[in-house]
Amino acid sequence: MKIVQAVGWFYPESWGGTEIYVDGLSRRLRAAGHDVLIAAPDPNHSGERQYEHHGLPVYRYPIPAAPTADEAQSAVLVRGAERFHAWLRRTAPDVVHFHTFVTGLSVLEVEAARALGARVVVTTHAASLGFLCGRGTLMRWGAHACDAVVDETKCAACMLQQRGMPRAIATLVSRTPALVAALGAKAPGKPGAIFRMPAFIRAQRDRQRRVLAAADRFVVLTRWAREAVIANGAPPAKVAINRLGLNVSRPARQRDRAPRSTGGPLSIGYIGRLDPIKGVETFVRAVASLPSDVAVRAVIHGPTFNEAERIFVTRLKAVARGDARISFGPAIPHAQIGTALASFDVLCCPSIVIEGGPTIALEAHAAGTPVVGARVPGLTEIVTDGVNGRLVEAGDWQALARVIAEMASDPGSTVDQWRTCLPPARSLDAVTREYLQMYAA
């Protein structure tokens, strides 16, 4: 089969969890004898590019760095995306597999692949689960897991609150009668945008329906995500779960690992994107709040590819207030992540966003390192609270601080005990086999 893997970002500019997943999947598909190509939009160059990554051909098509609102919301074809459509026609793939939606890779591209007669598989790696959550986190008010059922009034209020409007006012505005809202939506600038929010929610819901109509399979990563997508009207037969797997030939098993015991100070690591939705500030605030005699060492590793990430690191350092127990390090190359995880006593996953894994938690378990983090869907399917790790409410730095203090004071009955109960890891080999079944069905 000729298979196109279409992804929102790719090496060398970006190498997060989705890119690692697509790279590992593509190499396994090629090893199985299939012709695999990777395609991704590119806002950093003005022309088309073709290059190889790990021997895989990669096609990049230019899109504007500053798209219009209609382009960003998939209301019109993004400038440059027509080149991807033309490339698809020339390539004539048997399968086009989409991984998450971004500007330049949207419902319009899914429909273009379907029009060519290709088999279409969509995997949603993001908490938006396609186009269900305009906020992009599926966390109600940014604080707790949403029921994920799209409702114009509820969702508009949540998005307005995300944009800085007090919750009470956001709720009131979202209940504006339709006739008044229609008049308000005609206002220019921010006032009009406020009243256009319900229309945006309706448009997103329509895009979700169009994706489901065009796709042969809509793949999610957790049981919770499948239930959420179906609750919004997706045909159950189209929605499949293919859980995350590790990009290794054979994940470590518990009996393969050498016995470990936790000494002091307690070492807790964070590895991942430096983005507010990942909850890193919760982790830093928790450690900084602990009395100075709590023996703990917190290490935060993440990339600073852009100005927003650099600004966020500055903010985290301000929260740390010079606490010598908290240090910041560069992004860790994927080949070295297992070694880094094994050097921690515990990994912290403090997300304030619904997770598909996260992959880093699976990698920690494979390295013999327990996980503490937020009680959010995804992580709750990996970590059993009090058995192989601990979970606290998302954003609750005080609760996280209490857990850290407990681990530091008694690692034997917490960290060391959890280490003996870590679940077996899944390999991307299993993920690939399930996708091949979908491609060939």
| Domains recognised in the chain with CATH numbers | 2-123+235-248+428-440 (3.40.50.2000), 254-419 (3.40.50.2000)
Q: At what angle do helices 307-320 and 280-288 cross, to 10 degrees?
A: 20
Confidence of residue 255 (pLDDT cuts 50, 70, 90): very low
Q: Are 265 and 298 in contact (CB under 8 A)?
A: no
Is the pLDDT at 292 greater than 70, yes or no?
yes
The predicted structure's pLDDT at residue 188:
83
pLDDT at 259: 60
Q: Is the pLDDT of residue 151 over 80?
A: yes
Phi–psi pair at 6, nearest 5 degrees: -105, 125
Q: How many CB atoms lie within 10 A of CB 123?
A: 26
Size (the chain), residues: 441
Query: pLDDT band for position 410 (50/70/90)?
Result: very high
**Which residues are CB-neighbours of 330 under 8 A, at least 6 positions away?**
301, 303, 304
Q: What is the pLDDT of residue 249?
A: 54
The pLDDT of 373-400, averaged and rounded, is 95
Around 237, how many Cα atoms within 13 Å sit in the side-chain half-sphere?
3
Query: Across residues 279-292, what is the average pLDDT?
Result: 97
Per-residue pLDDT tens over the stretch 303-349: 887 898 999 999 999 999 999 999 999 999 888 999 999 999 999 99
